[in-house]
Each structure stands twice: as structure tokens, then as C-alpha cells.
Amino acid sequence: MKGMIMVTGIREQVDVCVVGAGHAGCEAALACARLGFETVVFTVSVDSIALMPCNPNIGGSSKGHLVREVDALGGEMGKNIDKTFIQSKMLNVSKGPAVHSLRAQADKADYTREMRTVLENQEHLTIKQAEVCELLWTWEDGKKRVTGVKTFTGAVYGCGAVILCTGTYLKARCLCGESITYTGPNGLQAANHLTASLERMGIELRRFKTGTPARMDGRSIDYSKMEEQLGDERVIPFSFSTDPESVQKHQISCWLTYTNEQTHEIIRDNLDRSPIYAGIIEGTGPRYCPSIEDKVVKFADKDRHQVFIEPEGLHTNEMYVGGMSSSLPEDVQLAMYRTVPGLENCKIVRNAYAIEYDCINARQLYPSLEFKEVKGLFSGGQFNGSSGYEEAAAQGLIAGINAAMLLSGREPLILDRSESYIGVLIDDLVTKDNREPYRMMTSRAEYRLLLRQDNADLRLRKKGYEVGLISEEEYRRLLVKEESIKREIQRLKSCTVGANQNIQGFLQAHGSSGLKTAASLAELLCRPELSYTLLAQVDPDRKPLPEDVTKQVEIEIKYEGYILRQLRQVEQYKKMESKKIPLDIDYDEISSLRLEARQKLKEFRPVSVGQASRISGVSPADISVLLIYLEHRNRSGFHHPDLGAY
Amino acid sequence: MHTDTIAAIATALSNAGIGIIRVSGPEAISVVDSVFCNKFGRRILSEKSSHTVSHGYIVEPGSGSDWKKSILDEVMVVLMKAPHSYTMEDTVEINCHGGVLLLQKVLQLVLRSGARLAQPGEFTKRAFLNGRMDLSQAEAVMDVIHSQSEMSLSSSMEQLTGRLAAVIRNIREQILYELAFIESALDDPEHISLDGYEEKLYEKCNIFLDRIEKLIDSAEDGRLIREGIRTVILGRPNAGKSSLLNAFLGEERAIVTQVPGTTRDILQETVSFRGITLHMVDTAGIRRTEDVVEQIGVDKARQYAEKADLILFVIDGSELPDEREREIISLIEHKQVIAIINKSDLPVIVSDEEIKRLFSDKKDLKIVRISASEGIGLEQLERQIEELFFSGVIKENREAVITNIRHREALENAHKSLLLVRQSIESHMPEDFYSIDLMASYTSLGTIVGEQVEDDLVEEIFSKFCMGK
């Protein structure tokens, strides 16, 4: 093959090259182009832009938060799912506001088409169907610097920044029992050349694995044996820019059924034919979306597992079988699926399969998602060891923004753990030792009460505006919203009601204990049995306010005590985050550091004392020593060393 | 840059003279003000200027006209306002007079009133970070923090008794399970339901609270860790070692029979009198034995004797010393020893001179005659120990005292957090709110057994609960 690569050919100069047009690549490319940089996005197939090769939905617990945050910062995912959803649901509504999460079923084909339309119409953005085989780079001030990419056909694109969003395509291989194909998802062409180029640059790669269940012909499914799963009556859009009225439309149902002992028996009896259990798969798979084989083996005490049947779109019969991903051979799959009520006569359109791919240990990245060793090289999505469309989009957006920041000589956008799920996601990826594809979970966010999906705009819109992805008009709308929330909270706190008959009657009617002395409306709102809407009866001065405003007012008053406590924790956290560690620090000079800590710090090169404290193997005493060393360094008149861009 | 206020015992705990508790940070004055009053019962500290000394009493915070009843100690309080103190923060030093036990109680009161226990080397660290010391000292400060934290960690683990560490680990495991259950249900609401979980968790919280309260009680009387003067009782079989321990405890803790070799293993008890705490170890009688089980006990006795601060060498006064005594003496010649001639109720044939001779006229040897079984001479023995302690010959295990305070603080924090969980359940907060304080409780308990949180929760979720997709 080598001889076929042409040495001369097309040479073009752009600002940014984005490798891959999945959920990360799309956000990265759009962000760069929207910020005015000439951008090319490469994909092995233009027809697979923003492809959803696994589950047919966007959002879900904590992932919905990510989508909202992407939207608040000026990303596209929220808007795109609002245009293409066929069912929508707010999860966890019976629980606290921090864990409410939106999830929408997508029409997969529509989703892809709409995103492609957005890309095609974006100024400064070019789509190019080509496999990038090589990164071009040079030495600059003793450090590697990326200068461009080269495609399989020999075309060279010079640029100032490259963003790698290769998803599951690098040296991908798909496994369905004994049969192995060397392709990306859905039989798409794998990218087999880039890995070697990355390794030559000194980038370390690893291998991860994930899987997807079968798709079935909807006509072969008996829904009468399943429970119908409806969408919400009133749909809430993902995007803060979407008009809520525009998303009230006819929705399609999903269906719930269960595996049984017979299913499990078939699986157990054929485990030796599973490539994972037979040891053929070397990649590390995720524990949070286990294959049905894994579930049966690891949770042997469970006599059944849920199976969700979800439509892949409006214009196809294909149905996704959620909960039963597998890499068992085709014949075992069919037998196993057919034991499930409603699937007795099912016909499989696409088999379930597992996929293995090359990715990196993201500890090679700064929190800006730029490689520590290669200036101008960024990466996002599954290539960074994450999993999920939403996780990918979030990283793609940040990588895109920061490539643009680098090219414009501005500070990178780094979100921390106390202001966003995106911050938690990226900090975990670049700090912790992740041994499996990383999925967002609400339990990973220690300040989750503050990081709600309902206030993502209040948390992040301003940053999106400063970066340049949020328009003046949208930003001004946010300021108005902020102001009305503040005023209404103030009003409720200062407006008191007396212990009169009218009030007592109202309280009694709603199962709330009577008042002994006067109380403010805010104090009444704190009672779990009362709501902002109910209080209208005893609040004659109330002026009508938009629902998104009153919702914030209600949450902030009702949970004030808890929110204040978290804010205090955040204060402590921020202190450590704001202590930056100079890039040229020599840990060997700090003799009081324990050996283990010194090794970890040298390997990691954390950017702040806060990040250092989260590295396993670094103790609080080591952090004290580090603080004192840094102070020492400052005082001894060290010229303020190059903090790099951090 | 520091927002919290720290406190610790700043002096060595060698004798019952003055002990100093240092409190430093923005709240230092108000914290001490809440537990200190002058002889008229007035809180006066906030009115005092810097570098003044006040005389008064340590009392329970919020004790009004009843303050006299709650007096813990009579103290002198030194006030130093920022930046004119060692740490360059507001600093208050409480000079206590009442001995080690009281010193701990006063510190606990201060901790409950809003200060947090200082980390090893933290005063020095603050002094440096606030610009007190010059650069040449930075290296030394880092070394202090390094070595002190290593020491405190190792002593903490060493002193935590095996059973108690096991109890704490067990409570932690259960809390983690509950946390993982809640979290997996939040992450995967369509697979895992929280219906009816409130009552279950409430019950669980009560059990956790109860168990932690018991641990706090045991910290109170020193059973949580092996603190105090490490005291080892040695003697030939049936000399009356266990009887001596029982006499101290006032209960039949060790089995006492006339059969030599009854105490086959090591018994450990903590005894407090006159403000002194002894951590007593009763050993198997040292003799050559064929019995394997007993031999293990004898070997252990040797090891304990090696580490002891004080040896109580029990001699049967009704029998002449022989090889067995000589062998023991060879082990303890270089130690602080009180020779106890027991069984003074029986005809005694052993003289003080004979014992002194056996010890080759060891200068600091003390001899006491008692009858452990009748309780005669015990007071004299206690006085003897007291004298050794106050003269500074034997010392409290300082690390152990500090460890105990640290553990207590952690237990109380864990307890507080669980009460908050219960409160959240009572006020019908949604389930995700329970996690906040459950996690805090889990973390607090972790500091006792030296375990960090890291990714425990995520691991637990994946290993115990089947997530969807």
C-alpha cells in the first residue's frame, strides 16, 4: 500500500483540522468555524456525520445535564435533538431537582441529516470525506507543535490546530461470536493508519471495547406482551434557545419486557462461544453498560433483566433492543432473544456486536484538552477514553473552543468541578486512572445540587458569551432572567403573612401546620407540602413571571440550606484550584515529598494544587509540602515562571 | 488564605503541670470566649486587647447562671491578636492545670465550639505561609510536616485496636452500600426503584447512630485506642498478675485460678486514677513451657515488655525467688520497674534486700508490698506510680492522646452527618439529598481507619448493582 501514497498532491492551508465528524467532531468543528477560523472536518463517510451507532436517544441521567451545558455554552447537540426527537421524558421527577434529567428518543436518520445540514451551512466550515493518516509536526522552542494533517490520498492540510475526534474508528474491529470484521461501527471503514503516526509522536495508546445490542424488524415483535412506555405529556426542550411550544408534538412509544430463566440458561450454556469469555477480546469494556452475558454471570441472583424496545426512527421498522447488548454468535443471539416475551418470532435486522478500538489515556492532556507534549493538538470524545454521545459532544465543544482560543492567543476555557458536569467529566478524564470507557454519572459530581440541568444557562451562558458562541441578544435575555430571579426571591423573603384566618385555612387545606406568628412567603415555601404555584392563593401582590424564573426561585428557596452548605464546600475547593503549579516545576527539588507522591506528580504534571490533590497516591501532607514549596519559590523571587496557558 | 480555626495541645504531655492548648484562626477568640469566663462568670475575652493574660475558668458553652456547676478547669488565657502571634493569626493559648485527662476534655470542648483539630505541623505551616518565617526555614517546615504526618499515621493505625477498626470498617461498608443503592437508582431510575426506601434507611441510620455512639463512649474512657502509659505486668505463673489487674479494675476481668498458666494470652485494659491513664497489659507468666499455645503468650509477653514504659513485676512473697525470677529480671534490667511483693496476707518470706540483690542493686527500683486478692497496699502502689509520673520519669504516650482526640472528632462528625440524614428523611426531602450527608459520614469514618474515598462509590455501584443499557 505504501507505494500508492503520493508524495505530491493537494496542499491547502487552513486554521483548524478536525479528524472525525461524530458528536465530538461536529461540536469541535462548529465551535472553531463559528469563532471565525477556517476549519476542515474530515470523515470517512459524509453520510455518517453525527451518527448514532448505538442507543437511539440523547440525554438520560447526568447525560441530560451535559447536553444542557453544551447548549448553554453555544453547542449544537441540544438544538439538534429538539428538532429530531420522537419521544421525550424528564427522568427522576419524583426526586430532587439536582437529579432531574431529560432524555429524548431520536429519529436517528433525522438527527444525522439535520446535523449535516447545520455543518454544510456553516460559514468557514468545509466537510471533507477522507481518512487522515498522519499528523504533521515540528519542533518549536523545545516542544512539539502540530502543523497539519495528511490524508490517505496524500493531500496535505496545513493548520495551526488539530482536533482528534476519532471515536471508535482507530484500528477498529467488530466481534460477533466467532466472526470478526475489521470495520468501524455499522460496517463503516475503520481508520487503520493514524495510530502509527500518533505512536511515532510519542502518544501512548490503549485499547477499549464497547458493545451494542441487536436491531429487530418491528413487524416481528408482539407488543401486546410488553408494557407501553409513553413520553411526557408536556415536553421540555433541551435547548435554552428552543421555543417550548415548538416541541409539543405527537410522540412514539417505547416498550418494556423482561428476560427470564430460559434466556439466562441459553446464555450460560453458550458462554464458551462469547469472545469475551473465550479471551478473544483484549479491550476493557465498561461495567455500566454490561453485555447481557455479563449481567447474567455477575448478577446471577437476579431472575430477570429489563429489556427496552425503542424505535430507531419514524421511517424505519428497526427497533433497538436496549439492555441486551452482546457479542455472542448470531445463532445464540437469535435463540436468546426469542425467549423474551414479545420477541418469540423476532427477526434480527442487525446483529449485536462488540467493538474494539484504539484510544488514549487522557492523562496526556491538559484540562483544556490540548496534549501536554504537543502544542496545538487537541482531542475529544471516545478517543479520550469516554463513552456516550453526550460525553463526546461536551469534550468536542471544549476542545474546539480551546483550539480557537489558542489560535487567537486567548486564555483557554477550563470549567471546574464546581461549575459544571463538563468540568467533572474532563477533570476525571485527565486526572484519574480510568480503566474502562468513562460514563458520566450524577454521583461523580460532588457539588451536584448546584449543577442542575435547570440552571445550566445561569452557570455557563456568560462563559459562552465571553468565548463568542452566545449572541449578544441571548446573553441579554439571560441577564434579564437572572435579575427577575433575584428580585422575586427578595420579594418572597421580605413579604410576610400574618397568622390570620385566611392563612390558617389555606395551610390546613394543604395539610400544613398552622402559623403561631407571622412568617415570610419564603418560609412557607420551604415547607415540603407547599409549592410556589400553591402560594399564589395567599400572595396577592404576585406578578406573572416566566416558568423558568419561578422554577429557579422555588428551588433556591426550598433547598437554600443545602445549597449554602455546598457553596461553602465549593469555596474551599476553589482555593486549591486557584493555586497554579508552574509548568517548569522540578519535583525532585522537593525532598520532603514522599517518593510515591513525587513520582505521581512528575508523571502527571497537574496544573493546580487542586488537581494534584485528586491524584491517587498524593496525600494531604504531600499537598502541604507542595504549598510550602510553591510559597518558598514565590518568595525567593523566582521570576514568575511560564504558567503556559494555564 | 485560611478560613478555618484550628486547635491542638501545644505542650508535651509528660507531667500534670501546665498544659497549653493553642487555638489559631479567625474564630480563635470567639471560640475560646464561648468556653471561658472570669471569676464572675462573665465572658470577657472579646474585650481584651492583644498580649494580655486573663484568669478564669473553662465552662460549658451556653452555661448561664449555672456556670459554676460546669467548671472543668481553672486556667490562664493568653490572647495574641493577628499579626502578632506565631501563626500571624488571632491566637489564644489556654494554660490548663488539671492534667492530661482534663487537657483533653478542654480541647474537646474547644473543638465542639467551632475549631477543628490541627493537622500535624499545621501551626508551623500557617506561620510559614503567613510570612512569619524566612526562606531558610521552609525546608525544615516541609520536613516537619512530612515526618509528623508519617508518625501520626503510623501511630494512629498502631493504636487503633483491631476490634474497633473492624467495627468502623463494617459501618463504613454498610453506609457505602446504601449510598451505592441510592446513586444507582438515580443514575438508572428505570431499572432500580427507591419506593419505600425512606423507612428502611431511617432504620439503618438509627443502627449506625447507635453503634457510633457506643464508639464515642468507648473513646471517652480510653477504650478506643491504646493510650496512656504502656504498663506491662510480669511475673512467674501464679504470682498474682491477673489478681493485680483485677484489683485495679475492681472486677473479675481476668480469669484467676490457682492453676499456673491460666492467663494464656495477653489481656489489655485501660485504668485511670489521679489523672493518670495506664494502658495495662497482663501477660502469661513467663516460664519455659511445652504448651504451644502458652508459648505464644510467653513470647508476646517478652515483646510487650520490650516496648513498655513501666513494668510491674509481681513476686510471690510466700515463695523464694528462683530461676524464673532471674530470667524475667534479665529482660527488664534497663526498664522502669516497680517490684510488687504480693500475697502480703500470707506469711511473707521474701525481703526487700533480697529483691534488690536480685536486681544487682538497680538504683531506681521501687518496691511495694500488696495483697492483690485482698486489695491491701493498692493505694501505696498507685501513689508510687503517681510519683514516677509527676517526677517525669515515666510519660504518657503523647501520640496516643492526640490520636484519640482525632478519632473522637471524626466519630462526632460522622454522628452529626447521620443526624442530618435522618433530618432530611423526617422532612421528606427527596432521596438524592440523603447522599450528601451519608457521604460526609462515610468520609469522616474513613479518616479513622486511614482510608480515603477516591472512587469507592463508583466501584460499589458497579459491583453491587446491575446498571442498564
Q: What's the pLDDT tens digit per position in B316-336?
A: 888 888 888 888 888 888 888
Would you state the pLDDT for residue A645?
36
The answer to whether residue A441 scores a pLDDT higher than 80 is: yes
Would you state the pLDDT for residue B293?
53
Coil, helix or strand for A102? strand
- Which part of chain B is CATH 3.40.50.300? 229-390
Cα A605 to chain centroid distance, Å, stands at: 25
Which CATH number describes the domain made up of B229-390?
3.40.50.300
Question: Which of A76-80, A294-298, B374-378 is least confident?
Answer: B374-378
Q: What's the mean pLDDT in B69-94? A: 91
- Which part of chain B is CATH 3.30.1360.120? 6-133
Q: Which of A520, A535, A567 is the last residue of a domain?
A: A567
Instruction: Verify that A324 and A369 share a domain, yes or no.
Output: no
Could you tell me which of A558, A544, A543 has the C-alpha nearest to residue A493? A558
| Cα dihedral A548→A553→A559→A560 (10° resolution) | 140
The answer to whether residue A646 scores a pLDDT higher than 80 is: no
- Which part of chain B is CATH 1.20.120.430? 159-221+398-464
Query: From residue B106, how far is each of B50, B66, B109, B405, B418 by CA, in Å?
Result: 22, 18, 5, 11, 25
Q: Which fold has domain B159-221+398-464?
A: Four Helix Bundle (Hemerythrin (Met), subunit A) (1.20.120)
CB contact under 8 A, B191 and A306: yes
pTM for the structure as a whole: 0.81
Chain A nearest-CA residue for B455 = A444
The answer to whether residue B253 scores a pLDDT higher than 50 is: no
B263 within 8 A of B284, measured Cβ to Cβ = yes
Picking from A96, A289, A591, the nearest residue to B469 by CB comes out as: A289
DSSP H or E stretch at residue B91: strand B91-96
Angle A114-A116-A118 from CA coordinates, rounded to 5°: 75
Q: What's the mean pLDDT in B423-436? A: 92
Instruction: Verify that A480 and A592 share a domain, yes or no.
Output: no
CB contact under 8 A, A55 and B128: no
Task: State percent of chain B over pLDDT 90.
Answer: 26
The answer to whether position A574 is within a domain reads no
CATH code for the domain in which residue A562 is found:
1.10.10.1800
Instruction: Verify that A368 and A442 share a domain, yes or no.
Output: yes
Better pLDDT: B284 or A400:
A400
| A255-264, A505-514, B137-146, B153-162, range with greatest mean pLDDT | A255-264
Better pLDDT: A176 or B276:
A176
Q: What long-range pairs does A630-634 form, CB within 8 A, spacing at least 24?
A: A630/A579, A630/A581, A631/B128, A631/B129, A631/B138, A632/B135, A632/B138, A633/A582
* A210-267 per-position pLDDT tens digit: 989 999 999 999 999 999 999 999 999 999 999 999 999 999 999 999 999 999 999 9
Q: Which of A353, A380, A412 is the last residue of a domain?
A: A353
- Residue that is written with C-alpha cell 405529556 in the block: A233
Query: From residue B25, how far is each of A479, A601, B22, B31 by CA, in Å?
Result: 38, 30, 10, 10
* A494-505 per-position pLDDT tens digit: 999 988 898 999
CATH code for the domain in which residue A614 is found:
1.10.150.570
Q: Which amino acid is residue B298, in one-letter code?
A: V
Would you state the pLDDT for residue A87?
98
The three cell numbers locating residue B349:
518470706
Q: What's the mean pLDDT in B111-117? A: 91
Question: Which of A88-92, A593-597, B205-209 is least confident?
Answer: A593-597
Q: Which of residues 441-480 of A touch B (CB under 8 A)?
A: 441-444, 448-449
The answer to whether position A640 is within a domain reads no
HSE (side-chain half, CA atoms, 13 Å) at B428: 6
Instruction: Verify that A31 and A87 share a domain, yes or no.
Output: yes
* A282-320 per-position pLDDT tens digit: 767 777 668 899 889 888 888 999 999 999 999 999 999
Q: What's chain B's average pLDDT?
A: 80
Could you tell me which of A365, A382, A395 has the C-alpha nearest to residue A204? A365
Q: Which of residues 374-413 of A touch B (CB under 8 A)?
A: none
Could you tell me which of A317, A287, A288, A309 has the C-alpha nearest to residue A105? A309
Q: Which of A413, A437, A467 is the last residue of a domain?
A: A467
* A508-552 per-position pLDDT tens digit: 999 999 999 999 999 999 998 899 999 999 999 999 999 999 999
The answer to whether residue A117 scores a pLDDT higher than 50 is: yes
DSSP H or E stretch at residue A287: none
Q: Residue B254 — very low, low, confident or very high, per pLDDT cuts 50/70/90?
A: very low
The answer to whether position A285 is within a domain reads yes
Q: Residue B220 — very low, low, confident or very high, per pLDDT cuts 50/70/90?
A: low
Distance CA A604, CA A598 (A): 10
Would you state the pLDDT for residue B135?
58
Q: What's the mean pLDDT in B275-299? A: 65
B330 within 8 A of B337, measured Cβ to Cβ = no
Q: What's the mean pLDDT in A109-120? A: 98
Q: Give the residue numbers spanning the domain of A560.
A: 472-567
CB contact under 8 A, B149 and A621: yes
| Partner B contacted by A592 (CB < 8 A) | yes
Distance CA A479, CA A462 (A): 9
Measured between CA atoms, how close is A638 to chain B, in angstroms? 13
The answer to whether position A644 is within a domain reads no
Helix, strand, coil % in chain B, rounded to nearest 5: 45, 15, 35
Domain count, chain A: 4
Contacts of B119 in chain A (CB under 8 A): 620-621, 624
Instruction: Verify that A279 and A332 share a domain, yes or no.
Output: yes
The three cell numbers locating residue A215:
436491531
Q: Which of residues 622-641 of A touch B (CB under 8 A)?
A: 624-625, 627-629, 631-632, 635-636
The answer to whether residue B259 scores a pLDDT higher than 50 is: no
Would you state the pLDDT for residue A5?
61
Coil, helix or strand for A356? strand
Q: What's the mean pLDDT in B160-172? A: 76
Measured between CA atoms, how close is A301 to chain B, in angstroms? 11
Task: State percent of chain B over pLDDT 70.
Answer: 77
CB contact under 8 A, B454 and A441: no
Would you state the pLDDT for residue A639?
43
Distance CA A624, CA B123 (A): 12
Instruction: Verify that A39 and A148 share a domain, yes or no.
Output: yes
Instruction: Verify that A16 and A98 share a domain, yes or no.
Output: yes
Distance CA A11, CA A13 (A): 7
Q: What's the mean pLDDT in B16-21? A: 75
The answer to whether residue A33 scores a pLDDT higher than 70 is: yes
Residue A412: how many CB atoms within 10 A of its CB? 20
Which CATH number describes the domain made up of B6-133?
3.30.1360.120
| Partner B contacted by A306 (CB < 8 A) | yes
Could you tell me which of A167, A172, A188 has the C-alpha nearest to residue A356? A172
Distance CA A398, CA A381 (A): 10
